[in-house]
Structure 1
Amino acid sequence: MPRQSGYTLIELIMVIVLLSIVATVSVRFVGLSTQGALDTSARQLRALQSVVISEQLTRDLREAFPLSVRSTGSCIEWLPMEAGTSYLNLPATEVSQIEIAEFAQPPVVSNRRVVIYGYGTTTGDIYTGANPGPVSSLISGVNNTAVPGSPATISLSASHRFTSTSPARRLFLVGEPVSICQSGRFLYRYSGYAPTSTQPDPPPVTPEVLAASVTGTVDFRFLPATLQRAAVVQFTFDLLSADGSETTTVSQEVQIRNVP
């Protein structure tokens, strides 16, 4: 009788066990690789978010009038500089019109004020527009065309006396305040509200969402200018991953150019 060839039951069981082990390892390897790719993608997304948020904050803060910056820790406020030029003369009495050198581009007039010097005054004085003081009443108009014998001018809605003159005869137009504040996991940007002597936290207007995955406490710090360096704003905050397992720390320093 011829001998028959084939697999024994034990051999078949051993093959099944080995294939199961290989399959389990392969699935585990693929799963870990996929999870690693997803984690890397999430980290890159948070890194991109941090760059976008930092860049927007940096651009906003670099436009700030340096003497107007004030912070409560989780909320920072400033007056944005809209335009700058030189004035021709500044009487020590109240004025309703200021003779200036022409602006490079005609500025927006609505809700703008004139700031001249302002050093040696408190931050609140920059916001209140007290008369006398470094900040004028609202601008009522700008004649940006100079002709022989008739310079360009800025007209004020009410007469104002400036408390000091600028060593370089510099004049700046500032707009309405801007604030960045934290509320829970959100970072908001506020604008379009009236200036007040004390910093609002938060301002009484509807904000824009700047970031929606903030964890912990946002820390804003303002370092006033010295003779050796410009004013500096430091801010630090953490962005939380979607599953709450990881955070990305954002830390930045912004220099604000001093303007006498």
Structure 2
Amino acid sequence: MDRARGFTLVELVMVIMLMSIVATVSVTFIGQAARGVIDTGARQQRALAGIVISERLTRELREALPNSLRANGACIEWMPIVAASTYEGLPTAASPASFQAVALPGGSSASGRVAIYGYGRDLYNYANPGPLSPPASVAAGSPLVPVTFDSGLTHRFNTRSPNQRFYLVTDPVTLCQSGQYLYRYKNYGLQPGLGDSLPTAMPGREVVAAGLEASSVAFRVTPATLKRNAVVAFDFTLADVATGEKFSVSQEVQVRNVP
């Protein structure tokens, strides 16, 4: 009669040890693969964030009045253009309240400050006469429309454009890094110095980017001349606090110049 056969204690221990080794290797392999997927996803997110931030800055800076750009490293300020046209002739009176201009596309109206030429002058220190007007409005209509200074104000321009060109700009906008954030400031009016009296909360301050490496943002402005356009170069670095990995972006933006 056959004897019943089973496993000895030694065999059971060996099987358990082999299974433990296989399980450990499997868990380690799966964990490393999962970590690789997570790290790759995080890198892709940082790269995408860098592209989005760079594209937003590029689009905004392209709409800047070229001779309004000024930077000091971590901050840049400019006056956004909202409309542009040509004037028929600037008044020669001592205190003009309006002037005639070619209507805006579609006969639309617009409001802001009128800027005419002004190269070599500080647009942020308002003066009358000067290249930057007080708030004004371009009337709707066609083919010629009046450009009128608001609330009975008057202004005389001290220079004329070679192309009889004028721009309508809004109040200045500033981008500035603070810690890991890049903020956009607006609705603070004209300030003589870059970074003076900026808003400290919404709606005058809004976050453009987060997760920046400290002191990594740098803006540089090459001013426009009559022979070439203005160029803005900027750099920033996105950093992962957990892993220490970084993603750096460098970009140049050409700001078209029609004096």
Structures share fold, TM-score greater than 0.5: yes
- For 1:101-131, what per-residue CA distance to the aligned partner results, in whole angstroms no more than 9, with x for missing partners? 000142432xx1111111232xxx3123311
Q: Structure 1 residues 146, 162: CA separation in 2 closer, same or farther (over 3 Å shift)?
A: same
Separation in 2, partners of 1:256, 1:202 = 27
CA–CA separation in structure 2 for the residues paired with 1:236 and 1:57: 11
Gap runs ≥5 in structure 2: none
Specify whether residues 165 and 205 from structure 1 end up closer, same or farther in structure 2 by C-alpha distance, changes over 3 A only: farther
Deviations 1:150-194 (A, max 9, x none): x31101242222121111111110101100011111110001111
Residue type of the alignment partner of 1:134: P
**1-side partners of 2:173 and 2:131: how far apart?**
19
Tell me, in whole angstroms, the C-alpha distance in 2 between the residues paired with 1:19 and 1:142.
82
CA distance in 2, matches of 1:228, 1:91: 28
What does 1:28-43 align with in structure 2 at a 5 Å threshold? Answer: 28-43=28-43
SS in 2 for 1:251: strand
The residue that corresponds to 1:145 in the other structure is 141
Pairing 1:3-82 to 2, within 5 Å after superposition: 3-82=3-82
Normalised to the residue count of structure 2, the TM-score between the two structures is 0.89
After TM superposition, give the deviation of residue 202 of structure 1 in Å. 6.1
Residue by residue over 1:59-99, the C-alpha shift from the partner in whole angstroms, topping out at 9 and shown as x without a partner, is 11111001001111111100001100010112444422111
Give the superposed CA RMSD: 2.0
Amino acid at match of 2:127: A
Whole-Å separation in 2 of the counterparts to 1:30 and 1:161: 74
Q: Indicate conservation of the 8 Å contact 1:135/1:162, yes or no.
A: yes
Letter in 2 for 1:237: F
Cα-to-partner distance string for 1:21-61 (whole Å, 9 max, x where unaligned): 11100000000011111111111111222122111111111
* Alignment check: 8 A CA contact 1:62 1:256 kept: yes
Do residues 183 (structure 1) and 194 (structure 2) align? no
Q: Could you say if the C-alpha distance between residues 202 and 23 of structure 1 is closer, same or farther in structure 2, counting changes exceeding 3 Å?
A: farther
Distance (whole Å) between structure 2 residues aligned to residue 258 and residue 244 of structure 1 = 44
Compute the TM-score of the two structures, normalised by the length of structure 1: 0.89
- How far off its partner does 1:243 sit? 1.4
Match of 1:210 in 2: 208
1:18 Cα deviation after fit:
1.4
Aligned 8 A contact 1:75 1:201 in 2: no
- Stretches of structure 1 that go unaligned for 5 or more consecutive residues are none
Residues 1:93 and 1:5: Cα distance change in structure 2 (over 3 Å): same
Identity of aligned residues (%): 48
For residues 244 and 103 of structure 1, what CA distance do their matches in structure 2 show?
A: 53
Secondary structure in structure 2 of the residue aligned to 1:159: coil
| Cα offset, 1:2, TM superposition | 3.9
In the alignment, what sits opposite 1:108?
110
Secondary structure of the residue aligned to 1:126 is: coil
Does the CA-based 8 Å contact 2:191-2:197 persist in structure 1? no
Q: How many residue pairs get matched? A: 251
